[in-house]
Structure 1
Amino acid sequence: MAVATVDEAEFAALKAEIAAWVAGPGEEWANRIEETGDVPPELFAELKDRGWLSLAAPAELGGRGIPFSRYLELLELISKSHGSIRMLVHVINGTWRAMAPYATPELLDEVVKPSVAGDKLVAFTLTEPDNGTGADITTSVRREGDDYVMNGVKHLITFGVKADYLLIAARLEGSTGNDGTVAFAMPNRLPGAEVIDDSDTMGVRGTDHAILKFAEVRVPAKYRLGEEGQGLEVALGGFLLPSRVSVAMSAVGLAERAQELAIEFSKERVTFGKPLAQRQVIQFYIAENFGRIAAAKSLIIQAARTYEQGAPEASALSSAAKMIAVEMLATVTDNALQVFGGRGYWKKNAIERVYRDARAQRFEEGTNEIQKLVVARAAITGEANTEGILNW
């Protein structure tokens, strides 16, 4: 599979633009989001106008066609900002991957292209209160003429309150396993659907989350993505696999922000006549953070490249990258907070927000327990091994 290239001068200018925005206006927006608990429409409009919601999609869908592995360089920078800003850029630059290969021309025009343009918001809708790994979903549909009738509950759905459409996976009534799953790109709030705002979270403040209840909701069949039986192929391969790599890189970006804050504070804070940066214990924290970030980033880049090439190790590496990156992020942010001592516990310091936002990535796009199952299965069956990965 050929991987597209970028104009390096233009790409460097784009990276500089994002970095400057994150350090300046981005911090102002972050403070406003923390104060209000909401992402204002003006911020969404600014991200759209800057073209940051359509970085990765191909030109035929209205995007800028930046290759996945290079797009991650941009997401890394954006992830140094507020968690809700990163979430918008990450999700909108990803949902088209699941929808486009399976969408009819009509769905491309109604849902996919407007999503890439930032005119419509699509929420990825998989997790259920008692199910979340994919094949165990119980939200069901049955075919009645030109409609499917949906029943069930989804929860922890990011953007589920404000979304215009839902990228949702369900299963045919009476089916089990993967073969009975069906995916839709359906309008939110169809008659019979209840949307419950469940947005009061520890971190990533401002991003709305919903509980969605469906009771005999009629979904026109024209909103189906692909064929019956392809539901998990759409949800897992089309969205979750690359999204896990994206979450991993966002963990790198946030860890780098925590490291920057810790280094800056260690140079300013003086105890017993000497800056913290000159104390060995603080230097050890900073050195450990540096090594962990660099190691995780290397694995993520490898995962991105195998995904671009369609290599057999892509799924295992996607989960491995996410698994390693979020564990790294937990350690790095904890070390960074420790450098601040008690001061880091107060909300007036950015490290406090970074610490809270970091915790969400431990379960975003699947917990590490799920990632370990994916990696273990691939390793045991021989679908992925370290020799093949290193020689790729």
Structure 2
Amino acid sequence: MTVLDMAVLDDAAFQLLKADVDAWVRGPGEDFANQIEATGIVPPELFLDLKAHGFLGLAAPERLGGKDIPFSRYLELMEIFSRSHASIRMLVHVINGTWRAMDEFATEAQRDQIVRPSVAGDVLVAFTLTEATAGTGADIRTTVRREGDTYYLSGEKQLITFGVKCDYWLLLARLEGSTGQDGTVALLVPNAGLPGAEVIDDSETMGVRGTDHAILHFDNTPVPVANRLGEEGQGLTIMLGGFLLPSRVSVAMSCVGLAERAQELAVEYANRRETFGKKIADRQAIQFYLAENYADIAAARALVIHAAKAFEEGAADAGVLSSASKMIAVDMLTRVTDKALQVHGGSGYWKRNPIERVYRDARAQRFEEGTNEIQKLIVGRAVVTGAVTN
């Protein structure tokens, strides 16, 4: 029995699993990272390798074919994956999370056709919420019109990760004429050349190279009512509570992992680089940068683990802590990567140095799963209404 075959991991087995993930990240993962940066494409072999190692079904329950690793412990693995290339982290993060949105509201037929194959790595589901002309919540404008057993979908989505190559879009829309949360529906829309569906590849990004992103246009695209998750009016609950709440904590931990990689690169460079016959690691200014980074990372990591355990326990403040952890971790990552690049001096600005890629990739978390401005609104409202206290 391998470590990943165990239904319940004791601590010793989990440490072996962490070591296995770390070895993969530093070995094959780094080779894939270099290939992605050189070509701008995630090779199919990467997906197959992640699947073969069981890395795509870490967090899902056994009944869905997953490894049933508790969320807070899974995040320790996400921390390690996030030290790798951003597209590798994105694959592991999304596939280990979308099942949460689907499972509670899926029919058994939907579980067999989509949810379980997603956990197995046989079906790719893209979370499809963001729009160009609206926010990412109750103000969405994409609509459906129901005629018998068919919805007719019209509207636009953008910045949809894996939206080009996915098998299904897990998509939020609203019934024509509805407002707010009422009338929102979550649909599993097959990416199969449906009438009226247009997929535009929008993958040329600053960082996170290789991950495909899509702009989607729908014009009276037919979607069977049987492809709806849950009931009409539950769409926003499915998308926000089912996916975004834990996903924000996962993104926060990805900030921690990437910051740790930036710090590691800065320390290595500082111990190698000499000026005026002295390693820059011995210079007080550099030590101050590294000390501030160490404290910043440790503080953010503690809050992320606290938020993860609150989600596990179903705590009343889990949602607020989710936003708070992402807010703090994102700002931490900005500071740490900036100082790590500064330690490298001008050399860090060149693509031949890994810190350049880390610096570019770090910018994406500032808006992934909701901007920091949105997180501050969520936390601020909870504080002023007395919903949370310190």
Deviations 1:259-310 (A, max 9, x none): 0000000000000011010000000000000000000001001100111111
**Residue in structure 2 matched with residue 365 of structure 1 by the alignment:** 369
Match of 1:33 in 2: 36
Counterpart contact for 1:263–1:286, Cα < 8 Å: yes
The aligned counterpart of 2:353 is 349
TM-score under structure 2 normalisation? Answer: 0.97
Structure 1 letter corresponding to 2:351:
K
Write the letter of the residue equivalent to 2:74: Y
Partners of 1:190 and 1:293 lie apart in 2 by 46
- Structure 1 residue aligned with 2:288: 284
Give the letter for the 2:41 counterpart.
D
Contact 1:150 1:219 in 2 (8 A): yes
Q: Secondary structure at the match of 2:182?
A: helix
- Which residue of structure 2 lines up, in the alignment, with residue 112 of structure 1? 115
Q: 1:218-367 counterparts in 2 under 5 A?
A: 218-367=222-371
User: Which deviates more from structure 2 when the two are superposed, residues 357-366 or residues 178-187?
Assistant: 178-187
The two structures, once aligned, show a CA RMSD in angstroms of 0.9
User: What's 2:3 paired with?
Assistant: none
Q: Secondary structure at the match of 2:370?
A: coil
CA distance in 1, matches of 2:388, 2:119: 33
SS in 2 for 1:53: coil
- Among 22, 25, 38, the residue aligned to 1:22: 25
Is the counterpart of residue 127 in structure 1 residue 130 in structure 2? yes
1:148 is aligned, of 125, 148, 151, to: 151
Which of residues 70, 80, 89 in structure 2 aligns to 1:86?
Answer: 89
In structure 1, C-alpha distance between the alignment counterparts of 2:150 and 2:376, rounded to whole Å: 38
Could you tell me whether the CA contact under 8 Å between 1:131 and 1:138 is conserved in 2? yes
CA positional deviation for 1:384 = 1.5
- Structure 2: which amino acid aligns with 1:365? E
Q: Percent identity?
A: 69
Distance 2:236 2:210 in 1: 29
Deviations along 1:108-160, whole A, 9 cap, x unmatched? 01110000000010000000002233111000011110011110000000000
Task: Say if 2:140 is the partner of 1:137.
Answer: yes
Normalising to structure 1: TM-score of the pair?
0.97
Match of 1:46 in 2: 49
For 2:388 and 2:127, locate their aligned partners in 1 and report how far apart those are by CA, in whole Å. Answer: 28
- Where does the alignment leave 5 or more consecutive residues of structure 1 unmatched? 387-392
Output aligned runs, 1:191-210, within 5 Å.
191-210=195-214
Output the CA distance in 1 between the equivalents of 2:315 and 2:369. Answer: 21
- Secondary structure at 1:352 match in 2: helix
> Number of paired residues?
383
Deviations 1:234-255 (A, max 9, x none): 0000000000000000000000
Q: CA offset at residue 6 of structure 1? A: 2.6
Q: Which moved more, 1:197-206 or 1:372-381?
A: 372-381
Give the conservation status (yes or no) of the 8 Å contact 1:84–1:206.
Answer: yes
| Partners of 1:348 and 1:214 in 2: CA distance | 42
Tell me the amino acid that sits aligned with residue 299 of structure 1. Answer: L
